[in-house]
Amino acid sequence: MKKHIIIVGGGFAGINLIKSLKNDERFEITLIDKNNYHFFPPLIYQVATSFIQASNISYPFRRMISKFRNVRFHMGNLIKVVSETKTVETDTGNLSYDYLVLALGTESNFFGMENVQRCALPMKSITEALYLRNHMLLTLEEAARNKDMKAAGLLQNIVIAGGGPTGVELAGMLAEMGKYIAEKEYPEIKLGLSNLYLIDALPTLLSPMSEMAQKTSYETLEKLGVKIILNVSVKDYIDNKVILSDGRSIETETLIWTSGVIGREVPGIPKEAIGRGRRILVDGYNEVEGMRNIYAVGDICLQLTEKKISKRASSTGAGSHTASA
């Protein structure tokens, strides 16, 4: 009988696994995702700044898998994994599996700051990017109508928390918009009241990258008028004030959060199998530690061990087990 593989999450990891198993007669595959489309995260900042449409970086799952004989799609949010009965619970129904692959990726990490989580604008999905785009456009319209200088300044201030690739790209795009577009399209706005801040707790922008990239990004953004604040973190966001770790505060109605990610929570996976950054601990074959026939791939997993011949495989004379069974 064909084995049923459930893959939860249609990001790059999940889709690549599907492509490697497409039309394989040994398996029936069900892809579960809360959205009905795959999208390209590296360009999401361009959706947020209105430079491209969401359709330019997204593609329907059903169209993608329509040529695969053994793949089906189920739209729903994962609620719980029940390993005892080999089922997954979603908000649109329960499904049984022979093998389960978790590829849910990550979500924004707010480091336990409730006010920031409630009021800041993250940018991890197309929905969030579109919301951010609409928020900024409506804020500009409000600023254009506002005759109160202080209120107009509050509306025009933008704070980006996080100096990684997303924060740097977004800061550059917004700075160029303010310099070359807003001046023409919003003549009522006094641009001298506008301030764009980029804040990071580390001593450099783009900390994982080369020194040249760090220096170039800093100098380029500075020339565009971005106010860069390093070695300082955001501690709270109260009454339209971003509170910084050095005691300063910045008034703004737009706090954009690009300051780190954390693995998505998967109820049903034991605490012992959760590692740093809420990543799921896996062995050298991406099987979840302490579990059978459940695997994790992509950004949600943390692999600390090399491939080994499993004890159960060696005891039966078999070679090894893999994520594709």
Mean pLDDT of the chain: 91
**3-108+262-315 with 114-259: one CATH topology?**
yes
Q: Quick check: 275 and 79 in contact, CB under 8 A?
A: no
| Cα–Cα separations (whole angstroms), residue 252 to 121, 122, 160, 196, 276 | 12, 15, 11, 10, 33
Q: How many CA atoms lie within 13 A of 197 on its CB side?
A: 26
Look up residue 197 and give its two tokens: 């801040």
Task: Using DSSP, state whether 44 is helix, strand or coil.
Answer: helix
| Cα–Cα separations (whole angstroms), residue 227 to 85, 175, 196, 217, 232 | 55, 10, 6, 13, 13
Using one digit for the tens of pLDDT, what is the confidence trace for 207-252?
A: 989 999 999 999 999 999 999 999 999 999 999 999 999 999 999 9
Band of residue 308 on the pLDDT scale cut at 50, 70, 90: low
What number of other Cβ atoms are within 10 A of residue 2's Cβ?
12
Annotation: CATH topology of 114-259: FAD/NAD(P)-binding domain (3.50.50)
Q: Is the dihedral of CA 136, 261, 76, 268 positive or negative?
A: negative
> Rounded to an integer, what distance in angstroms lies between the CA atom of residue 288 and that of residue 303?
9
Question: For the chain, which residues make up each domain, given as ranges?
Answer: 3-108+262-315, 114-259
Q: Which residues contact 16 (CB under 8 A, 6 or more apart)?
A: none
Using one digit for the tens of pLDDT, what is the confidence trace for 240-296?
A: 999 999 999 999 999 999 998 999 999 999 999 999 999 999 999 999 999 999 999
Question: Architecture of domain 3-108+262-315 in CATH?
Answer: 3-Layer(bba) Sandwich (3.50)
Using one digit for the tens of pLDDT, what is the confidence trace for 182-192?
A: 878 888 876 66
Q: In terms of pLDDT, which residue wins out, 310 or 107?
A: 107
Taken as a whole, the chain contains a residue count of 325
Torsion of CA 67, 69, 74, 80, to 10 degrees: -130
Closest CA to 110 of 157, 161, 158, 159: 161
Using one digit for the tens of pLDDT, what is the confidence trace for 29-60?
A: 999 999 999 999 999 999 999 899 999 999 99
